[in-house]
Amino acid sequence: MLVVFRVDSSSTMGTGHVMRCLTLAEALNNRGDDVVFISRELENNYCSHIESRGFPVYRLPNSESNEEYENETILLAHSSWLGSTWQEDVEQTINIINTLSEKPEWLVVDHYALDFRWESAVRESVNKIMVVDDIADRGHDCNLILDQNLVSNMKSR
């Protein structure tokens, strides 16, 4: 089975996202599944760390064009963390997926700047989509959501 992870990291965000994806990737790899990562080359990213753990990384360029379109109806709180527009990101991601030797069984998405629009656009390129989301501040189009919080309605004091 081929599993693709879409996760980013930089000097300001995402290192925990990468580490939890690596934990899952290693478990999948240990049972014989093929795993690849797609990650944007943001400043101080963890792409080399992922590769040092034995996983191929397809790197997306950091376009730094986080411009919002005039007709954009949904603005995500973390959209500036993407390093591109979500439309550019989904196009680049699909282009990489289409070069793989087989259609991925799962695409695991762990990114606060991606939502149902991105997932709907990439859906035909993969069999199933899993989203890791621990803040639940946006809608998703996926087969499975993983929220590792102990309490779903936890509030800070």
Mean pLDDT lowest for which of 3-12, 69-78, 124-133? 69-78
What CATH number does the domain located at 2-146 have?
3.40.50.11190
Give the H or E element holding residue 24. helix 15-30
Task: Give the E-state strand segments of 42-146 in sequence order.
Answer: 57-60, 106-110, 128-132, 144-146
Four-point Cα dihedral 113, 69, 126, 29, nearest 10: -30
Q: Residue 13: pLDDT above 80?
A: no
Q: Residue 70: pLDDT above 50?
A: no
Domain boundaries, the chain: 2-146
Report pLDDT digits (tens) over 81-103. Answer: 566 787 888 999 999 999 999 99
Q: What pTM was computed for the model?
A: 0.85
How high is the pLDDT of residue 116? 92
